[in-house]
C-alpha cells in the first residue's frame, strides 16, 4: 500500500513562471510542493531536512532545472547524489537542452528522467506519477528486504543455538555418564576400605599386645615405614578420597543440570543453585594461572523465590555471561595487573527477579555497546569468539523467558550485565 501522505515534491527552477505553473499543476494532482530558486537554496533546504526530518521532511521527488545561476543543475545533482541523506531521492531534470550529450551527462549523474522545455503539464504529471510510484515501490522493497534479512538472521541464530545446545548437551551428558561409572565404584568402596583399615589396625594392635618384642627384621621394617604414621595417614587419605569423590559428584550433577534436555519444558528453579553450578564448572578458570592471581567471586545473593525457567537455556546464559566476565578480567590483568573480581548480585525489583554479573575489567566504548548483541559481532581475536554468545543469550532471555538483558559498561572500569526475569 502506498503512503500517499508522503507525496511531497521539490521544484528547483530560477523561473518564477515555471515554478507557479508546475506548483499549481502538481497541487491539483494531489502533491505537496516546495520550491527553490537555485541549486544552493535547494541544497541548504535538504541539509536542514537532514538535521530534523520530522519537522522538515525530505521530498519524495525533485524536479531540477539544469540552467540556473550559481551552481547549475548538473552540479546540484552531483552534490545531492554524493550525500548519503539525499542520494536516494529521484531527480528529474527539466531543460531546454535536448541534445544526447546533455541527457547522457544528466543520467550519468544519477537523474532518473528528463523533461524537455517547453513542457506539457500532462506529461510532467504523468512522469512525476510514474517515478513517485517507482520510489514507493523501491522503498517498500527495501523495507521488505530489511525485514526478511532480520528474520533470516533470527532464524540462523535460533538454528545455531539449537544445534549448539543439542551438541553440547549430548557431549556433556555423555561425559557426566562416563564419570558416574568409575565414580560410583570409588564411592561404594571407600566405606568398606575404611572398615578393612579399622580391622587391620585392630589386628596389628593385638599383635603388638601379645608379641611386644617382634623379631629384629620385623622391628626394623616397622621403624622404616613408621607404622603408626602410615596407619593414621591411610585413614586421612581415605577421608580425602571421600571429599574428592563428593566434589566430583557435585561437578557431575552440575554437568547434568547444564545439559538438561528439557529445553522446551519450563520449571520453577533456584537461580542461586544454577549460578553456583555454573561457577563450579568454571572453577578451573577462576584459579590462579601462574602469574595471574585468583579471580575473586563476590556473591551478593538476595532472597529470590523459585523462578519458572527453562533450566538448560538459562544455564547457557549464565555460562556465557560469566565466561565473558572472566575473559574481561583476564584482559585487564594483562594490561595493568589490577585485582580481579566478579560480583554476582540478585534481588527482587518491581515483580521481577534481577541477576547482575559485574566485572572490573577494561569496559567497553559506547560504539561497541551499540553493537554488542548483533549476531556475529565480536571484539575477540580470530578463533576466540563466534560473535553469537550474547546474541543467543539475549534471545533466550527475551524470546524464551519474556525477560530483558541489559548491559552497562564504563571504559576502563568494567561491565555489568543485568538479567530481568518476570516472577
Angle CA(278)–CA(279)–CA(282) in degrees, nearest 5? 95
Quick check: 416 pLDDT over 80? yes
Q: What span, in angstroms and rounded, lies between the C-alpha atoms of 328 and 417?
A: 13
Cell numbers found for residue 1:
500500500
Highest mean pLDDT: which range of 25-34, 143-152, 351-360, 365-374 = 351-360
Quick check: 4 pLDDT over 60? no
Question: Terminus-to-terminus CA distance in the chain, angstroms?
Answer: 42
Highest mean pLDDT: which range of 227-236, 310-319, 339-348 = 339-348
State the pLDDT at residue 67.
87
State the pLDDT at residue 105.
86
Quick check: 263 pLDDT over 70? no
Cell numbers found for residue 395:
534471545
Average pLDDT over residues 343-353: 93
Q: How far is CA 199 from the centre of its chain?
A: 61
Q: Are strands 352-359 and 32-36 parallel, antiparallel or unpaired?
A: unpaired
Q: What span, in angstroms and rounded, lies between the C-alpha atoms of 243 and 319?
A: 26
Identify which has the larger pLDDT, 65 or 173.
Answer: 65
Quick check: 21 pLDDT over 80? yes
pTM of the model: 0.50
Average pLDDT over residues 28-40: 90
Quick check: 138 pLDDT over 90? no
Q: What span, in angstroms and rounded, lies between the C-alpha atoms of 423 and 420?
A: 9
Average pLDDT over residues 128-138: 86
Quick check: 270 pLDDT over 90? yes
Contacts of 417 (CB under 8 A, 6+ apart): 321, 324, 325, 356, 357, 358, 405, 406, 407
State the pLDDT at residue 1.
37
Q: What span, in angstroms and rounded, lies between the C-alpha atoms of 170 and 258?
A: 11
Residue 8's pLDDT band (boundaries 50, 70, 90)?
confident
Range with lowest mean pLDDT among 36-45, 212-221, 365-374, 375-384: 375-384
pLDDT digits (tens, 9 = 90+) for 157-167: 666 666 665 66
Mean pLDDT of the chain: 84
State the pLDDT at residue 291.
85
Q: Are strands 352-359 and 341-349 parallel, antiparallel or unpaired?
A: antiparallel
Phi, psi of 408 (to 5 degrees): -135, 125
Q: Please count the other Cβ atoms lying within 10 Å of the Cβ belonging to residue 33.
A: 19
Identify which has the larger pLDDT, 90 or 259.
Answer: 90
Quick check: 322 pLDDT over 90? yes
Quick check: 278 pLDDT over 70? yes
Instruction: Confirm if 326 and 286 have CB atoms less than 8 A apart.
Output: yes
State the pLDDT at residue 421.
95
Cell numbers found for residue 387:
560473535
Secondary structure (3-state) at 257: helix
State the pLDDT at residue 248.
80
Q: Are strands 404-410 and 352-359 parallel, antiparallel or unpaired?
A: unpaired
Share of the chain above pLDDT 70, in %: 88
Amino acid at each position: 500500500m502506498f503512503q500517499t501522505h508522503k507525496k511531497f515534491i521539490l521544484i528547483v527552477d530560477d523561473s518564477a513562471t515555471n515554478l507557479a505553473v508546475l506548483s499549481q499543476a502538481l497541487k491539483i494532482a494531489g502533491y505537496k510542493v516546495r520550491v527553490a530558486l537555485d541549486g544552493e537554496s535547494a541544497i541548504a533546504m535538504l541539509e536542514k531536512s537532514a538535521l530534523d526530518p520530522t519537522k522538515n521532511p525530505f521530498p519524495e521527488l525533485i524536479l531540477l532545472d539544469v540552467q540556473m545561476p550559481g551552481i547549475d543543475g548538473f552540479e546540484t545533482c552531483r552534490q545531492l547524489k554524493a550525500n548519503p541523506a539525499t542520494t536516494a531521492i529521484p531527480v528529474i531534470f527539466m531543460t531546454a537542452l535536448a541534445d544526447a550529450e546533455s541527457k547522457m551527462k544528466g543520467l550519468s549523474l544519477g537523474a532518473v528522467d528528463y523533461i524537455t522545455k517547453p513542457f506539457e503539464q500532462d506529461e510532467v504529471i504523468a512522469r512525476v506519477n510514474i517515478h513517485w510510484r517507482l520510489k514507493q515501490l523501491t522503498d517498500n522493497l527495501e523495507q521488505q528486504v530489511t525485514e526478511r534479512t532480520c528474520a533470516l538472521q533470527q532464524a540462523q541464530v535460533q538454528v545455531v543455538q539449537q544445534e549448539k545446545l543439542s551438541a553440547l548437551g549430548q557431549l556433556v551428558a555423555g561425559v557426566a555418564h562416563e564419570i558416574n561409572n568409575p565414580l560410583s565404584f570409588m564411592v561404594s568402596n571407600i566405606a568398606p576400605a575404611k572398615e578393612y583399615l579399622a580391622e587391620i589396625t585392630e589386628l596389628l594392635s593385638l599383635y603388638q599386645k601379645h608379641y611386644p618384642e617382634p623379631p629384629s627384621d620385623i622391628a626394623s621394617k616397622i621403624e622404616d615405614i613408621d607404622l603408626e604414621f602410615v596407619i593414621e595417614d591411610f585413614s586421612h587419605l581415605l577421608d580425602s578420597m571421600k571429599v574428592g569423590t563428593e566434589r566430583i559428584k557435585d561437578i557431575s550433577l552440575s554437568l547434568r543440570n547444564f545439559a538438561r534436555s528439557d529445553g522446551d519444558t519450563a520449571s520453577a528453579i533456584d537461580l542461586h543453585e544454577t549460578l553456583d553450578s555454573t561457577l563450579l564448572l568454571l572453577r578451573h578458570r577462576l584459579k590462579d594461572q601462574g602469574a595471574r592471581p585468583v579471580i575473586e567471586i563476590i556473591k551478593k545473593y538476595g532472597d529470590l523465590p523459585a523462578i519458572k525457567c527453562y533450566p538448560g537455556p538459562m544455564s547457557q546464559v549464565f555460562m556465557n555471561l560469566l565466561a565473558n566476565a572472566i575473559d574481561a578480567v583476564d584482559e585487564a590483568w594483562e594490561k595493568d595487573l589490577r585485582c580481579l573480581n566478579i560480583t554476582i548480585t540478585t534481588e527482587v525489583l518491581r515483580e521481577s527477579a534481577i541477576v547482575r554479573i559485574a566485572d572490573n575489567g577494561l569496559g567497553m566504548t559506547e560504539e561497541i555497546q551499540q553493537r554488542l548483541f548483533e549476531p556475529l559481532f565480536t571484539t575477540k581475536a580470530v578463533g576466540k569468539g563466534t560473535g553469537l554468545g550474547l546474541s543467543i543469550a539475549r534471545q533466550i532471555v527475551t524470546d524464551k523467558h519474556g525477560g530483558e538483558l541489559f548491559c552497562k559498561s564504563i571504559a576502563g572500569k568494567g561491565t555489568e550485565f543485568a538479567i530481568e526475569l518476570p516472577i
